[in-house]
Structure 1
Amino acid sequence: MDFLKINRHAHNPNSAKVSHFVYAHINSAGEMYIGFSSDPAKRWAEHISDSVDKLNRNYSAPFKASLRKYSPTNWKHYLIASTTSEKLARNREAAAILFYKPKLNKRPELVPFDRDYGFQSIDTQVPERVTLNKKMTSTVYGRTNSQRKVALGIIVYENGRKRVKSLKNTHFDAGLYIECARSERAKFQPGQRVTINVALSTKPNGTNYLVAAKTSPLKLVQ
């Protein structure tokens, strides 16, 4: 995932000493969100996933609402600080929120002490493009079976194979593909409705889909 590094005082993002990053995401309307993470690429994917999960406690937050309104592929991503500890990252995040006043953050952060971190207007910077890849490869971001939710789906036949697409229920909207075992799909006929425990995931292009554990069974809805 590509980020634009804009703070000349920041550490080299690929340095072994760096453990956390302060980042900014800006949508096509120019609205900004600031956060920090040890893995900004993975955190971005989680933000997208959580934005369409109606049971997520931050579903109605300005940032999550903006992710639903503006396509994730049209956002710009910036690295505005990199640090060697989580504590330092929290301090820099708070200072960045105070400096940039991002519209999509819910509340201001408290800065423990006054310090100049070298922040400047993004519009005046000549950014350096850097690539940060997710440190974890799991497409469901490490979610356990206990964190999965029941999805209602329908068996469809597309391009010579059976697939499962979600139907609207308490947890998920309609139209999401459900990734599950082929042997399970083979037990059912197109048009039959089924349920299965899944977790919401996101492809690199921002497309959401649902993932079941390899051993999760499909259950027929009578």
Structure 2
Amino acid sequence: MQTTFRLCNGLTANQVKAALFVIYAHKINGQVYIGKTKDPVYRWNTHYDASRNTTHSEYSTPFKVALRNVQNEWLATEHYILAVSNCANEIRKFENIAICKYKSELNATGHWGYSDATEMFKPLSQWQDTVMLFRDESRDVEWGLAKDDADRDVCIARIEHGRTSPTSLVSTGKDGNFPAGYKINCSRAARKGHPVGSHVKVLVSWHASGNQLVGKKHDVFVSVNIN
């Protein structure tokens, strides 16, 4: 699984391959979608799959509709890498700035009020090189990037009401390892016995998409008191 990306804003292939996070853009019929991820090849394929899956929660979002409405979307879509970072908080900021700067019509939600004060984002037409990126098949994409506990970090999370299950787990940012507000994909059984509003300590890693955190399939959460 591989995809060719155009490099923008002075980035080099080595910088992109070495970075923990990237900001990417997909351009289709003159419209732009922007996102962040750890694995842009995997993420592009999940976008495509979601556009064809009528039961997927993102099936009716603007980007997925655009993919369905164009002929030969694999050739019609241009792929770009806009920025890189090894910091989760910084990459979220870059994503917000890029969405505003490029006026990304295909993003389902707006991230308004951010300005490119340092002018780091140049027009997509000024891309200067390309890089062929490959899906890292060694990554356990479904359950995150970690293979064992040595690859995971402690996260202080809060038990909240779930949309499709009784409870869900969300990062609080109080551990210093992960920013607040990220959903944690984890064992439902481990959440039992912890009431909504309580806090737990859990070992997690980033999902390959960079949009959520992932705990172990089988785990026992430790209750913690947060003042």
What range describes the TM-score normalised by the shorter chain of this pair? 0.5 to 0.7
Distance 1:51 1:117 in 2: 33
Distance 2:33 2:57 in 1: 18
Which letter maps to 2:26? H
* CA distances 1:92-136 after superposition (whole Å, capped 9, x unpaired): 01000110101111221156787425111112x142111211123
> What residue identity is the alignment partner of 2:10?
R
Bigger Rg, structure 1 or 2: 1
Contact 1:33/1:103, CA 8 A, preserved across alignment:
yes
Give the letter aligned to residue 97 of structure 1: I
TM-score with structure 1 setting the length: 0.56
Instruction: Name the amino acid aligned to 2:40.
Output: P
Root-mean-square deviation (CA, aligned residues, Å) is 2.4
Q: Which residue in 2 is equivalent to 1:87? A: 89
Distance 1:39 1:14 in 2: 10
Is this contact kept in 1: 2:50–2:64, CA < 8 A?
A: yes
Q: Which range is displaced more, 76-85 or 108-117?
A: 108-117
Q: Which sections of structure 1, spanning at least 5 residues, go unmatched?
A: 144-222
How far apart are residue 22 of structure 1 and its match? 0.3
User: Per-residue displacement from partner, 1:20-63 (whole Å, max 9, x unpaired)?
Assistant: 00011011x21111111000000000010111111111111110
| Correspondence list, 1:1-222, <5 A | 1-8=3-10, 12-15=15-18, 18-27=19-28, 29-70=29-70, 71-74=72-75, 75-110=77-112, 115-116=117-118, 118-123=120-125, 125-136=126-137, 142=142
CA deviations on 1:181-218 (whole Å, 9 max, x unpaired) are xxxxxxxxxxxxxxxxxxxxxxxxxxxxxxxxxxxxxx
Identity of matched residues, % = 28
Q: Which amino acid aligns with 1:13?
A: V
Find the aligned partners of 1:24 and 1:76 in 2 and give their Cα distance: 8
What is the CA deviation profile of residues 50-84 of structure 1, one whole-angstrom value per residue up to 9, with x for unaligned ones? 11111111111110001111232121100010111
Query: Could you say which residue in structure 1 is the equivalent of 2:218?
Result: none
| Structure-2 separation of matches of 1:30 and 1:82 | 24
Provide TM-score, normalisation by structure 2.
0.55
Q: Structure 2 stretches of 5 or more lacking a match?
A: 144-227
- Where 1:58 maps in the other structure, the secondary structure is coil
User: In the comparison of the two structures, how many residue pairs are matched?
Assistant: 138
